[in-house]
Structure 1
Amino acid sequence: MSLVINHNLMAQNAARNLQTSYSNLGTSVERLSSGLRINSASDDAAGLAIRELMRADIASLNQGVRNAQDAVSMIQTADGALQIIDEKLIRMKELATQASTGTYNSDQRLIIDSEYQAMASEITRIASATDFNGIHLLNGNLSGDFTGAGLVSSGEMKVHFGAGNDSAEDYYYVRIGDSTASALGVGIGAGPDAAGASISTQELAQASLNALNDAIISKDKIRANLGSLQNRLENTITNLQVQAENLQASESRISDVDVATEMTEFVRQQILSQSATAMLSQANSLPRMATQLLG
């Protein structure tokens, strides 16, 4: 290389190397301070796209877990109310059995029937009053076909827990039958011709026993269906949590920085920057050698 004074090529080369190592040092500082290997699209364009899709799925899965947990709470609310209705039906059958025997007169049966009707009214009240977040559960509102086109959905409840909109993978429906006294066929509200409408006579009391059995079976079917749905939801929650955990691990491998490896790179770039700075200082002093020849 010639000894010239118009251009300091060695200094330019040292400056370029310093700029490169200093830029790499800044990248290492950014990664170590953020904990992320990918801080912008320029770091890894394909990795960034995959990471953001994974983050969206992870957020959806975590929300799906909360949706399923809310559905479990709703089912537990409905089942708790049905347990109380169960107690009322058992008491009604006890009263019907009492009124079926011939040792009571008509006045006494009317007294027994008044409690019977009170139990039926209480069943209807419980079924009408039981709600979860303003959604009535036992009055038959959740027994029809699902319609979600309007601002307020109707029919069976759609529990959405997946990251997509596939009926086989991302949601299913919770259907709860009507548990009012009239729907169960007991009490005066069921109509005068219903077998379980009244126990005011011995004949009506005897006929109501079968109607009460049917009512208890209908109620038990609702509870059994809710129990199976709760078990299914709890299994779904576990599966979603495992999915989210595994997806989070995959996202971490793409996005997070390996601190040990990056710290090694940081020290390397730091040494290179220091070395380039020292050489740049030396290169800037080299043109002075030419002035010695001129003297």
Structure 2
Amino acid sequence: MIINHNISAINAHRQLGANQSATQNSLEKLSSGLGINKAGDDAAGLAISEKMRGQIQGLEQAQSNAQDGISLIQTAEGAMNESHAILQRMRELAVQSSNDTNTDTDRAELQKEVDQLANALTDISENTEFNTKNLLNGEFEGTFHVGANEGQNLSVEINDMSASALNVGGVEGASYAIASTAGAGLTNDTTYNVTKLDEGSTVRNNANSADVAVNYALQDDSGDIVAVSADGKDYQTLSASSSKEDLATATQSTDAAYAFADAVVSGSVEVNGSGVANATATATTGVDLADGTYTVVGTEHAAISTGNGLLNDKGDLVATSDDGQDWKSYSDANKTVLTTGTALQTAGAEITVGSGEGLNISTQKSADAAITTIQSAIDTVSAERSKLGAVQNRLDHTINNLGTSAENLTAAESRIRDVDMAKEMMEFTKNNILSQAAQSMLAQAQQMPQGVLQLLQ
């Protein structure tokens, strides 16, 4: 018998410590509900669980992203619903004006409403926003991140829904004159509108009886085409007026042409009493350039050392340009106020800023042609709404899939991370009893050395 080392007590104490540690571990799991509270509980399981948690949280955020995307689409589509209503009213007015029971005065009143409706279309395109992002002016190109990982995106573009983009309203911008070398065949003191022709349009060349491609045309007030051009510079008149529908059977005249110094592909052409034509082309306005007439000036102006400038009707210098094309605000050189397709460097030239003419229903023929134009605009808006509707339906399915994936991943992560309460309660009960038993046995082992005293008596 020995007394320096009570091996039985040491063993009982060790077992008691192990049982108490196991009991404490069970209490931690039972109180937190987690089977893994620290890396030591299950190192591999912790790593797998954290990776799954990243996926789950990413999927849940992707659901929120998709919902925000749907909200944006609904905002744009709702605005286009009103655009559709406006276009349908414009079409109704065009049909009404096409009827010759109306007088010129009646048609003038109908034209007023069409002009205001065109302005309303442009207002919708410029003012429809989502979180300060403009949606319908042609600038929106968005990416919706609808997944938990890199590259899981959906890109959406919304086209310009303004009146000018739909070809039912005037072009906001500046107009300026381009002189021509006069030919013959256009009527004096008459204005002709420049029109972009359909791709593949041709006319018959009278010189060699061959078909030639044309891209631009001059139309009179009745909507008839009287001259055509391939490049926008050389306009050849037709032997007889033609419509877009029978243009392929039209024949070019051999001795009538207008040669412009620069390409004229938009705006209008005005022929004066001397037979000289000036084209009113359209430029793009930027910021801080109010409607009105501006005059081009050169270095004769005291404030201009190089290039050209624009003076308003009060004689104030409002813009300058080094090349005559890109005009900057005089008060803020970082702001572009005007961009022209050709260089405007001739001192004394005038630039008129404002709205171009909109859809014309002031005559029976133009109103009749306007019906097709408006119908085309309606079809364009329909196509855009259909596209957005398809994206919205796709996002709906994406949200459902994300929810299912997040649910299944959560279940998988739960099996790794969460504790089985019933099983762990069994472990706790066992360890608790073992702790009590070990404590009792430790007390018994402490009594064993007392037997040595019997030998010492």
TM-score, normalized by length of structure 2?
0.59
**Residues matched between the structures, number:** 277
For 1:187 and 1:102, the matched residues in 2 are separated by 24
**Is the Cα contact below 8 Å between 1:127 and 1:138 reproduced in 2?**
yes
- Aligned-residue CA RMSD (Å): 1.4
For 2:376 and 2:42, the matched residues in 1 are separated by 66
Larger radius of gyration: 2
Residues 60-110 of structure 1, C-alpha deviations (whole Å, 9 max, x = no match): 000000000111111111111111000000000011111111122222211
| Counterpart position of 2:146 | 161
| Counterpart position of 2:157 | 175
Match 2:169 to one of 177, 187, 206: 187
- Shift in Å, 1:20: 0.4
| Counterpart position of 1:289 | 451
- Shift in Å, 1:197: 2.2
Helix, strand or coil: the match of 2:360? coil
**Is the Cα contact below 8 Å between 1:183 and 1:190 reproduced in 2?**
no
Helix, strand or coil: the match of 2:154? strand
Q: Which sections of structure 1, spanning at least 5 residues, go unmatched?
A: 143-155
Match 1:49 to one of 47, 50, 59: 47
Helix, strand or coil: the match of 1:286? helix
For 1:290 and 1:193, the matched residues in 2 are separated by 124
Helix, strand or coil: the match of 2:150? coil
Going by fraction, where is strand more abundant, 1 or 2? 2
For 2:194 and 2:117, the matched residues in 1 are separated by 19
For 1:103 and 1:188, the matched residues in 2 are separated by 27
| Counterpart position of 1:237 | 399
- Shift in Å, 1:189: 3.1
Helix, strand or coil: the match of 2:41? coil
| Counterpart position of 2:10 | 12
The 5 Å alignment of 1:88-103 reads 88-103=86-101
The question of 1:212 aligning with 2:210 is answered no
- When residues 95 and 220 of structure 1 are mapped into structure 2, their CA distance, relative to the original with a 3 A threshold, is same
Aligned letter for 2:106? Q
Going by fraction, where is helix more abundant, 1 or 2? 1
| Counterpart position of 1:30 | 28
For 2:194 and 2:46, the matched residues in 1 are separated by 70
**Is the Cα contact below 8 Å between 2:114 and 2:359 reproduced in 1?**
no
**Is the Cα contact below 8 Å between 1:14 and 1:276 reproduced in 2?**
yes
For 1:116 and 1:95, the matched residues in 2 are separated by 7
For 1:94 and 1:193, the matched residues in 2 are separated by 26
Aligned letter for 1:37? G
The question of 1:106 aligning with 2:120 is answered no
Helix, strand or coil: the match of 2:39? coil
Helix, strand or coil: the match of 2:430? helix
For 1:82 and 1:163, the matched residues in 2 are separated by 32
- Shift in Å, 1:193: 4.3
Helix, strand or coil: the match of 1:158? strand
Helix, strand or coil: the match of 2:368? helix
Aligned letter for 1:268? K
Moved over 6 A (4+): none
| Counterpart position of 2:130 | 132
- Shift in Å, 1:33: 0.3
For 2:62 and 2:79, the matched residues in 1 are separated by 26
For 2:409 and 2:374, the matched residues in 1 are separated by 52
The question of 1:277 aligning with 2:259 is answered no
- Shift in Å, 1:203: 2.2
